[in-house]
A and B are shown apart, each in its own frame.
Chain A
Amino acid sequence: MAFVTPSSAAENSYDVIVVGSGAGGGQAAYTLTMEGARVLMIEAGRNYDPRSETPMFQTPDTAPLRGAATPDKPFGYFDATVGGGWTVPGEPYTNASSESGRQFQWWRSRMLGGRTNHWARHSLRNGPYDFKPRSRDGLGFDWPISYDDVSPYYDKVEMLIGVYGTNDGLENTPDSPEGCLLPPPKARIGELLARQRGRTLGIPVVPIRRAVLTRPLDHRTIPAKLHPGNAKAQRIIAEDMQSRAACFWATNCGRGCSIRANYQSTTVHIPPAMATGNLDVLVNAMVREVKVNGAGKATGVVYVDKASGAENHASARAVVLAASACETVRLLLNSKSARFPNGLANSSGLVGKYIMDTVGANWSGQVPLLENLPPHNEDGAGGLHVYAPWWLYKEASKLGFARGYHVEFATGKGMPGGAPFVPDAGGRTSFGVRMKEEARRYYGSHIGFSGRGEMIPNEDSFCELDPKVVDKWGIPVLRFHWKWSQHEVRQVAHMQRTFADWIEAMGGTNKTRPDPDGTKAIAAGGFIIHEVGGTLMGSDPATSVTNPWSQAWDVKNVFVADGGVFASNADKNPTLTIMALAWRAADRVLDEMRRGNL
């Protein structure tokens, strides 16, 4: 089995259709096929092969505009995004309000592996508090599951994909069991300085966790832990682990990785799933709706073959939706039938409700201590080496906002991507040899901070079908509604005050003053590309879309394996949790199939 055409997909019979091929779809397909289920994965974008398509060592002078960001490639020319960005040609979405601060921007990509090809690889576990936030402060929702339900899956995902980091014993920042983590890379000089001065402000700086192999995975012991009693799966993943190289400390992970040293669905999940012989992949196929029979069970999906424009049908015993939180909402709402006139899995009326993004704000300063440092290689693991987990849990009542944020920061002499800083003292444009000396002096002396915080779900942030607008295939599109609460806006003001203090503690200079109330500094909804929610899991069919196993209450053979089921959006980046829950949902699918329930 392999890449298939619409006609061969129609002829085959499948146990499960997985819609989407990113973190959730990749993990679901991996788990299902390794355990023997026959799976058809359907991806709206084109096939993508990181081994042959990743511009690993290309320098900006080989790219148009020196690789600068453009509307076509918003994260720069070499970013591993195909057919995507904030806008996708022919695939619009709308916003209900034109008011400032009430817009949602929706990043999509149209490629096998989806957004896992370019993501930052930050792999943070939600902590125990993050599953029960309402119990702690009365806001938002508790999840119907706890950290203990998910932690075995975090363990397995970390061992499968490879995550570097350390166990630091910090509050609500879980340690991993022995054998889960790879050693972290050494800190860069600016990271060491930020750590030393952060300590004077009471801010802990520790190694971040990222899905990058700092050494090869232990192919001798891990396979048996991932697939106990399954010799075939153990053999396949052991072989695959040996074909992944460890990081060679060059090139930015955002370009993807041809040596498979970091996690992308296309380098980690899909190859072993293919090797089982149980996975078919259909690309360039835009799923329009899930079909149900008279008994109210899903029978498969209807999709548009993008090459021909023709509508096709594929059938299976179960459907796993992992199209990304909002795309899954769109699919369910477009799956209208006599039995389900308001869309599938929507008897609660909550499909599309409580969309959350991460709260984000940036800051930067210049630090004289880091000027004129002798050149040394700071590429490292192609991303961050350290971060500051949220440190003020005990101060929650004094902050003026609920929840918290972690701090990511960028330092060092990375590959130049644009004009280096020169001071132009006295307003005089510096040039010539003197300008070059200044450029060398200041290069690497800036530190950039990014706050990444928790948004509390609210009634004003949701998506629904636009009553008028359709995409180029005639499929109704999403219309977004968005509003930050005072919790998020105040959190951003706190971020910027903290970052400004931090720059000063490093002896540095802030370029601007913090936004006093946060309204200007807060990144627009969707801008951090951590959107989750819309198909929340819960313990009551009246107030949630899926049950605690990510299984639709209304249609028991439909599952959600993307960020849609999140009942809260902790400051921790969502991808690792998406994978852990997708593995857990796939276990449920297998369980239900074995019991003859699907």
Chain B
Amino acid sequence: MSTPLPPRMDRRVAIKWMLAAGAGALLADPLSIGAAAGDQPAAVGGGIGTDPDLMKPHKPGEYWALTLSAAQLRTAAALCDVVVPAEGGAPSASAVGVPDFIDEWISAPYPNFSKDRKMIAEGLDWVDAESTRRFGAGFADAGAEQRLALCEAIAPEAPDGSALGAASKFFRRFRNLTITGFFTTPPGMRDLGYVGNVPLATFDGPPADLVARLGLTDEVKW
């Protein structure tokens, strides 16, 4: 195993992930191994509190320390851009700060968020290592088609303990965090088809032709 391990990856975990992926050996889900809190970076600092200043724009890292290394963030940026590429005039996920959002999410001092920490951090390391194993280059440095191929490989649902069980679970979670981060930004909202959050003089309801097309009527004295 000559592949250099990315920073912060526990060698034992990396070996298990790579063995599972490469050899198809039936191993227990690595995510269920060593699930003790000691394996996870500790949350630093408090939470948001019950009276934050709602008017002040927030940047990840202001309330609590972040988790991911520069290398992991680089992998996250490349991966989230496969999930949400720039297209149709909309920016990619990394262009609207999704890697930092994911880092903030998994680093939060709340159990519902931090439960993703280990899976996401290890998953990013695995993606990078697997890319290196397959293509001789880390994920961020691999070609666009190679990145796509790796994502295609881990997109299908795979049972726990199967070769790609952990990787497919990670990919689903990472995808969901990516689209959360993307579609909650103004460019992402526009891309989705949300056209509100602007003051209007009147509220006119749905377009009349749409109401008619769906066979609906608006005869009530609204």
Contact = CB atoms under 8 A, between A and B. Distances in A.
Q: B-side binding surface: helix, strand, loop or mixed?
A: loop
Interface residues of B, number: 76
A70 B189 contact: no
A416 B192 contact: yes
Interface stretch (A28-36, A54-62, A96-104, A292-300): A54-62
B196 A377 contact: yes
A264 to B, nearest CB: 15
A430 B176 CA distance: 10
B71 interface: no
Contacts of A72: 47-50, 52
A345 B157 CA distance: 63
Contact of A193 (B105, B194, B195, B214): B214
B186 A59 contact: yes
Rank and list the top 10 A-B pairs by shortest CB-CB distance, nearest first.
A186-B205, A427-B157, A379-B196, A248-B199, A375-B193, A60-B184, A189-B206, A249-B200, A249-B203, A61-B185
Nearest to A424: B172
Given A64-B104, A420-B183, A443-B193, 8 more contacts: A53-B55, A60-B185, A70-B48, A89-B50, A377-B198, A414-B194, A415-B197, A440-B193
Contacts of B181: 66
Nearest to A80: B54
Q: A-side binding surface: helix, strand, loop or mixed?
A: loop
B161 interface: no
17 contacts: A59-B197, A65-B113, A66-B184, A72-B48, A73-B50, A185-B205, A187-B218, A192-B217, A193-B216, A248-B200, A374-B207, A374-B210, A430-B175, A431-B83, A431-B84, A432-B148, A433-B85
Given A189-B214, A427-B156, A83 B48 contact: no
B204 interface: yes
Nearest to B110: A70
Contact of B87 (A373, A381, A422, A436): A436
B166 to A, nearest CB: 14
Interface of A: 46, 52-55, 57-68, 70-73, 77-78, 81-85, 88-89, 110, 166, 183-189, 192-193, 195-196, 206-207, 247-251, 369, 373-381, 385, 413-420, 422, 424, 426-433, 435-436, 439-440, 443-444
A435 B220 contact: no
Contact of A59 (B148, B189, B220): B189
Contacts of A251: 197
A84 B52 CA distance: 12
A414 to B, nearest CB: 7
Given A71-B110, A420-B183, A439-B179, A187 B220 contact: yes
Contacts of A54: 54
A431 B193 contact: no
Nearest to A74: B50
A557 to B, nearest CB: 35
A245 B205 CA distance: 21
A375 to B, nearest CB: 4
A186 B218 contact: yes
A380 B192 CA distance: 19
Interface string B71-88: 000000000001111010
Contacts of B60: 64
A376 B206 contact: yes
A419 B52 contact: no
B214 A61 contact: no
Contacts of B151: 431
Contacts of A64: 48, 52, 58, 60, 62-63, 104, 108
B11 to A, nearest CB: 28
Nearest to B79: A431
B69 interface: no
B15 interface: no
A149 B6 CA distance: 74
B101 A66 contact: yes
A479 B113 CA distance: 31
A435 B83 contact: yes
Contacts of B180: 66, 418-419
Interface string B157-187: 1000000000010011001110111011110
Contact of A436 (B84, B112, B196): B84
B155 interface: yes
